[in-house]
Amino acid sequence: MDFKRKIETGKFVVTTEVAPPRGTDTTLLIEEADLLSGCVDALNVSDNQRSIMRMSPLGVAHVLQEQGHEVILHTTCRDRNRLALQSDLLGAWNLGVRNILAMTGDHPLLGDTMGTKPVYDLDSTQLLQAIQNLNRGHDIMNRRLDGGTGFMAGAVVRPDPNDKMQLLRLKRKVSCGARFIQTQPVYNTEEFKEFIEKVSHLNTHIIAGILPIFSLKTVKFINDKLPGIIIPQEVVERIKNSTDPAEEGIELAAETIKKLQDVAGGVHIMPIITHQHTEAILKRAGMLH
């Protein structure tokens, strides 16, 4: 059963992500993707994540699909105007991409290329509207196309039950065609349950983010580079006091997934750097046999 069919039938899905290379060598990318074969339903392909220059995600998506992997293509508004966004989406459809994650994108000031100018002609909600138009066979100006698309579109959200603005944005994204939602990392499962209760009326599939922590170095990276993500102190202490932080990280991630299985519509695993522990996490959580 493919990713779209699972979403449409309300099945629990498992997704993860891979980063395009900083160059043209895709050897490591393919090796990482092969580690995930049979473990996940789809691979997110990020788009210059954190405003750091990498290979085009469309090129990577094509490579991965040729290797038999289903992909979710990140499409970011930061670097393209509405002409380029629509053009890239039409090209993606012709290359066999069927799933899109609409993102506004991190500001270039956070990245590695000084002097980069942001575009932000559209935001992620407007991009979702544009995708809806393409799916209906029209461009953003409502002019008929010579062949439309049929994308399964998704978006991202911070799963904070007390952030009214975030909840309103989520409602808006769903109304604009977001059929699935991938959340930022979840560490507090009780808070996530509150969030789900508040958005359960929305017709979308909520996939909870899982960012495993394998060392105190990972904690520092998250605190320094990923603002807005709060790691509970008890999680930090478990890693700090463990004789085997990697093993403790696997256990922590598996515990979180188990608690979310009856609440979320799936999990999205976001390991930093490598997927060497992803299969072990899913096995520990009872997702693989």
pLDDT, tens digit, for every residue of 241-264? Answer: 999 999 999 999 999 999 999 999
CA 196 to chain centre: 18
pLDDT tens per residue across span 7-28: 999 999 999 999 999 999 999 9
The neighbour count for residue 261, using CB atoms within 10 Å, is 14
Mean pLDDT for the stretch of residues 178-206: 97
Which pLDDT band holds residue 272 (cuts at 50, 70, 90)? confident
Please give the structure tokens belonging to residue 171. 């409602």
pTM of the full structure: 0.95
The structural domains of the chain, with segments of one domain joined by +, span 3-284
CA-angle at 72, arms to 68 and 76, nearest 5°: 140
DSSP tag of 288: -
Pairing of strands 99-103, 152-157: parallel
Dihedral pair phi/psi, residue 208, rounded to 5°: -80, 135
- Give the CA distances from residue 162 to residues 124, 197, 199, 267, in Å, rounded to whole numbers and listed in that order: 22, 12, 12, 22
pLDDT tens per residue across span 29-64: 999 999 999 999 999 999 999 899 999 999 999 999
Give the residues across from 75 on adjacent strands: 102
Q: Provide the pLDDT for residue 210.
A: 97
Please choose, from the candidates 87, 86, 85, 64, the residue with its C-alpha nearest in 3D space to the C-alpha of residue 76. 85
Which pLDDT band holds residue 289 (cuts at 50, 70, 90)? low
How many helices and strands, by DSSP H and E, does the chain display? 11, 8
Domain 3-284 has CATH 3.20.20.105: no
Name every residue whose Cβ is closer than 8 Å to that of residue 253 and which is 6 or more positions away in sequence: 210, 212, 213, 269, 281, 284, 285
SS3 200: coil
Please give the structure tokens belonging to residue 251. 């256990």
C-alpha 6/C-alpha 20 separation (Å) is 26
Q: Provide the pLDDT for residue 80.
A: 97
C-alpha 5/C-alpha 213 separation (Å) is 31
Question: Is residue 1 over pLDDT 80?
Answer: no
C-alpha 18/C-alpha 37 separation (Å) is 13
pLDDT tens per residue across span 78-107: 999 999 999 999 999 999 999 999 999 999
Helix residue spans in the chain (DSSP H): 3-8, 27-35, 57-66, 82-94, 124-135, 164-175, 189-199, 216-225, 233-241, 245-260, 278-284
CA-angle at 195, arms to 72 and 75, nearest 5°: 20
pLDDT tens per residue across span 140-189: 999 999 999 999 999 999 999 999 999 999 999 999 999 999 999 999 99
C-alpha 282/C-alpha 9 separation (Å) is 22
